[in-house]
Structure formats: C-alpha cells, structure tokens
Structure 1
Amino acid sequence: MMNKPNAIVFFDLDGTLLTSDVTVAKSTIDAIAQLKKNNILPVIATGRTVCEVQHIMHQSNIDSIIAMNGQSVFYQGEHIFSNNIDPTVIERLVNFSKNQKNIPVAFYNDKLMRISELSEPAKVFYAYLKQNIPPVDINTYHHAPIQMLLLLCQSGEEHYIDLFPELTFVRNTPYCVDVFNSGGSKAFGIQKLLENKGFSGIPTYAFGDGLNDIEMFQLVDNPIAMGNCVEPLKKLAKFITDNNNNNGIENGLKHFGLI
C-alpha cells in the first residue's frame, strides 16, 4: 500500500464485520481484498482487545486496529498509541465492585485478559462471546498496564458513574460494561491514528451497529449503519446497508463506490 491511502474505512466487529456465528463472510473478505487493491485502508474499530481478535484480523487480512474503544491503536502491525488506566483508580474500582456491588471485573490490555474471580457472570459473558474464560488474577493491574476494564453484570453500572469521574462506562453487551479513561472512544483512537500518520484530508468511512459506535459515526465523513443496528445509529448514518448476515459490508462499500 502506498504511504497515503485514497480513503480509510473503519469496521466495528460484533454485528458488523462478523456474522451472527462470529465469522467473517466470504463476501466481506473479498470486499476487503478489493479495497486494498484500490489503495483504501481497512481498519478494525472494536471494543475488543488485540489478543482477542488476532484470528479475525488474520481471516479478514486487516492489520490495522483501533482496539478497546480507542484505548490502543496499531497501524499495519505497528503499535502507535496506548491509553493506560491509573492503577490507583483501578484499585478503587476493584474494591468498590467487590465490597459494595459484588460485580466481577475483567482486566484487558493488548496482550492479556484476566478476570477477578471465576463467577457465574463471567461464565455467561464469555459463553455469549463464544470464548474461553480468561485466567483469574485480581492483581493483574499491579504488574501489567491495563487499558480497559469490564464490569461483568447485566445492570448496576449507574452506581459507578459519579464515584469514578476519571472513567467512561459504556454498555457493550447485555452482560458487560466497557470501562476506560474518560473521553476515550473509538473516535478518540481514530483521531490518534489520523494525527500520528498525517492522514488529514483523507475521506473516512465507518461501519457500525452498536452504541459504542456513536462517537465514531459523529467523527467520520461517511457513517454507514448496518441493517441490524441500534436505533440511535440510524439517525447518524448517511446510509443504512443490509444486515451483518446479508452482505451488508460488501453492499455498503459498493454503494459508496469504494469497490
């Protein structure tokens, strides 16, 4: 790929780049290959962490990623940004979760995922993701930088918001809430990528379906909502494509003449 792409396309994963069986459709793989031939940069933009999605990056042949809702950024395999959470803030949150709310916590960075305890909410959440449950280590943050926490719960996150103004809380699935530094979002990570690589003035597109795609939709030139998206995204979208199981990515890219 040339130094400056002709355009950049950001793809959310769950419900967007991935079908309901958590794989990448052949039509999507072919569309991404065509994008690259057209000197257009594909970038994953996800709430998930890098180690969690290596197989998807390999399958889709995408090597740039905005991970953990903008808290870590890689461009063509090169790590260019991390937004670590202050360990003293993590300690306060872990203690509050354990002693006041009985809500388990997960700890994420680019290389590892750990949980505070092997609990029913952890089993339910990772079964929902079709993933193995990470190892237990409540002290992970003492010996590794952490860029994102998860509250493994179906409700109760409202109790944290006033107590932890340093953090942002975004419900990403029915079973978990993503937690990261205040002001963080996929849009924040996208801006870091554009600034770091000098990509100003290049047309930007984004595909998404969930609430954690709102800031990204507000930032890019051409937001494209999946047919299966949440209602608030429809209002922000320039185009609503088909759903994630029905060639939504390919059809959206064709609509904008990118492939």
Structure 2
Amino acid sequence: MSHKPEAIVFFDLDGTLFNSQVDVLSSSLEAIEKLKQNNIIPMIATGRTPCEVVDLMRKTQIDSIIGMNGQVVLYKGEKVFTNNIDKDVIVRIHQYSKQEMNIPLSFYNDEMMCISEYSQPAEKFYNYLKQPVPSVDDQVYLKSPIQMILLLCESGEALYRDVFPELTFIRNTPYCVDVFNHGGSKGYGITQLLKNKGFTDVPTYAFGDGMNDFEMFLTVDHPIAMGNAVDELKAQAEFVTDTNNNDGIAKALQKFGLI
C-alpha cells in the first residue's frame, strides 16, 4: 500500500498547464512546488505520450502522468497501467488508412513514437506541436506494444468510426485524431490509478480545456475548467478559473485551499 497523498491534482497540458506559447507560467511552477510541500500529488493528464514530455516533467518536477488519454499510467516512475491496442486491429487500420483514406499514421507507446511515412500532414502536425518529426517505421507495431495511434489529417475521421467500433476517435488538434481502445480515456486511466494504488478515497481535482478532458471531469471530485476552455467542458466544471495565460491554475488552487 502506497503512502496516501492528501489529494491528487491532474493537469491537462495544451491550453491548460501550457500557455499560448507552449510554456509553463512561473505562477504554475510555484503552485506545483507548493502542492508537493502539502503532500498533494501533481499529475500530468495528457494526450501526449510520456516520452514526449520528459523535459516538461523535469522542469516541473512532476514524476507522475496519465499519458495518451489514459492509455498509460505512471505513478512516481512506476508503470501502473497500460491499455495496448490489439495488433490485428492495428494491421487493419494501417491498411485501411493507406489503401482507402490516404491518411498517414503515428504509432505511440509510453517509450517511443514513430510515423508510418514522411508526409506533409506529419510535418504540419509536429510543427504545430513545436516538435521534431519522429522517425519512420511502418511496422513498429509488430515489434512493440502500441497504446495510441494518431490519424494525421484535418478531416475524414468520421468514416473510421463505423469501420472500427472497437476503437475511440477523438480530434485533439486541427491536424490529428487520437485513436485508442474503445472505453479508454483520461478518466479511465485515473480510475485505474486510484484502484491499483488504493487511492479511491483520496480527493481528486482536474484542470482542462478541451473535449478529451470530458471523461476526466466526470471522474474526479473537483473538475476545474480553464477560462479558455470549450463551452461543453465549462458546463461540466465545478469551477471556471482564469485562462491559461493569466494564472488560471494558481488562482484556482488558491481558491480550493490546496496551496
């Protein structure tokens, strides 16, 4: 049984912990340090894979993450949960994307990411994230477990939903769609964490701004929407704080008495 924290706070990244310049405000860094001093665990909850955010985790001194929209959970460096996509399903979606849709893919697990081919959609998406384009390996799923796939496209995902009912498709940016096992979500990852670590009675808080935060908001005790969040998410929030550019995280943590 792990030593129980006083509370756990989950932070989405883009539009939430990150400001518009894809950086973390000094007020947020100070707030995270105060949380830790108060035996409150800060956790990242993101569509990104842990290997993408190594530098951020080092900068914030956060060592726990709900990654890939809940498909992997690391708690203080320990791998608590993974939700791998069946290889046969990946073969099917790869063939369908290549032969029917002409949509390139990215393949993710908690330790690496690859793309199916070098393409303009890949360039556009990773430039949007301010990241280098990953290496090409269109058969990586035959060698390694895959927990999330990205459709690198600006439209077209609707056709996939009927063909692949065992998968969930969530548009996370204008240039990509996150794909993972049906029923997977940030909320599902949080549920697995709390169950596996014996933390089901620990108070939980979450900050978010987009629709991939929706299930997380339904799961935690105290959902907090950023001022820049989409209206549908604000409607599910207990509290709407200031924006990601205007100390929204620090202000809400102070309001809830966590720092």
Instruction: Give the TM-score range, shorter chain.
Output: over 0.9
Q: TM-score, normalised by structure 2?
A: 0.98
Give the letter aligned to residue 20 of structure 1.
Answer: S
Distance 1:63 1:209 in 2: 22
Quote the Cα distance in structure 1 between the aligned partners of 2:217 and 2:79: 24
Identity within the alignment, %: 63
Matched, 1:132 2:129: no
Give the Cα–Cα distance (whole angstroms) in 2 for the partners of residues 130 and 72 of structure 1.
23
> Structure 1 residue runs of 4+, over 2 Å off?
none
Structure 2 CA distance, aligned partners of 1:70 and 1:197?
A: 16
* Cα distance per residue 1:142-168 (max 9 Å; x no partner): 111100000000000000001101100
Partner residue of 2:47?
A: 47
Q: Does 2:230 match 1:258?
A: no
Structure 1 unaligned residues grouped into runs of 5+: none
Residue 62 of structure 1: aligned partner:
62
Deviations 1:32-55 (A, max 9, x none): 000011111111100000000011
Distance in 2 (alpha carbons) for counterparts of 1:68 and 1:32: 22
Residues 24, 59 of structure 1: 8 Å contact kept: no
Instruction: Give the C-alpha shift of residue 22 in structure 1.
Output: 1.2
Deviation at 1:204, TM superposition (A): 0.7
What is the CA distance between 1:114 and its match in structure 2? 0.4
Tell me the SS of whatever aligns to 1:66. Answer: strand
Say which SS state the counterpart of residue 89 (structure 2) adopts.
Answer: helix
Q: CA deviation at 1:201?
A: 1.4
CA distance in 2, matches of 1:258, 1:192: 24
CA contact (8 A) 1:226 1:244 kept: yes
Contact 1:23 1:56 in 2 (8 A): no
1:231 positional shift: 1.0
Correspondence 1:78 to 2:78: yes
Partner of 2:163, secondary structure, is coil
Post-superposition CA distance 1:18-69 (Å, at most 9, x none)? 1111111111110000001111111110000000001111111110100000
Report how many residues are paired: 258
The C-alpha deviation readout for 1:88-134, integer Å capped at 9, x for no partner, is 10000000000000000000001111001111100100010000000
Determine the structure 2 residue equivalent to 1:235: 235
TM-score norm. by structure 1 comes to 0.98
For structure 2, the residue ranges without an aligned partner over 5 or more in a row are none
